Amino acid sequence: MPATIRIQAEPFDLAAESEKLLDGRADIGALASFTGYVRDEDGRLSALELEHYPGMAEDEIGRVAAKAESRWELLGLTAIHRYGKLAPGDPIVLVIAAASHRRAAFEAAEYMMDYLKTRAPFWKKEHLKDGTTGGWVEAKDADDSALLRWKE
């Protein structure tokens, strides 16, 4: 089953996406999902604007998904990433991995997120409640070092 990759402005529905993966099959024993939300740590954020590279975002997430599918025996994989202006508490990203057993599902979902954060061409800009721009969110070294776990 090919991975479902979508880049969209609209919100997504975890239950509906899970149903699509499970639909009509009984061989899936485990479904692991991750949802990332816009976080406002100190009450200053009015919106987070996500810019992306439209031609490449889908391709790159597809390449990460293909690696996950070659690494674990998956029975389904969905990745949805939103773009545009999002409010605190809004969902940004969804990954769902389906497998026979939990370990593959958990690990594949985490692998997808670790690689998606550092390789998918998206950039976050903060907009603050006082009307000013808080600037571009800086990449974290911790996100790069998270990848070390997946290197042999």
Partner 1 sequence: MKLLYFAWLRERVGKPEENVDLPADVATVADLIAWLKGRGEEFEYAFEAPELIRVAVDRVHVEHDTAITGAREIAMFPPMTGG
Binding site for partner 1 (CB under 8 A): 36, 50-53, 55-56, 59-60, 81, 92-93, 113, 116-125, 136-139
Residues 6+ apart with CB under 8 A from 42: none
Minimal distance, residue 34 CB to partner 1, in Å: 9
Q: Are 11 and 93 in contact (CB under 8 A)?
A: no
Which residue, 101 or 119, has its beta carbon nearer to partner 1? 119
Which residue, 35 or 71, has its beta carbon nearer to partner 1? 35
Tokens (6 digits) for 79? 């990745």
Which residue, 5 or 120, has its beta carbon nearer to partner 1? 120
Minimal distance, residue 143 CB to partner 1, in Å: 8
Minimal distance, residue 81 CB to partner 1, in Å: 6
Which residue, 21 or 81, has its beta carbon nearer to partner 1? 81
CA pair distance 142, 149, nearest whole angstrom: 12
Q: Are 99 and 105 in contact (CB under 8 A)?
A: yes
Q: Are 40 and 86 in contact (CB under 8 A)?
A: no
Question: Alpha helices, DSSP H only, in 11-133?
Answer: 14-22, 54-71, 102-119
Minimal distance, residue 98 CB to partner 1, in Å: 20
Determine the residue type at 82. R
Partners of 124 in the β-ladder: 50
Minimal distance, residue 60 CB to partner 1, in Å: 7
Which residue, 13 or 59, has its beta carbon nearer to partner 1? 59
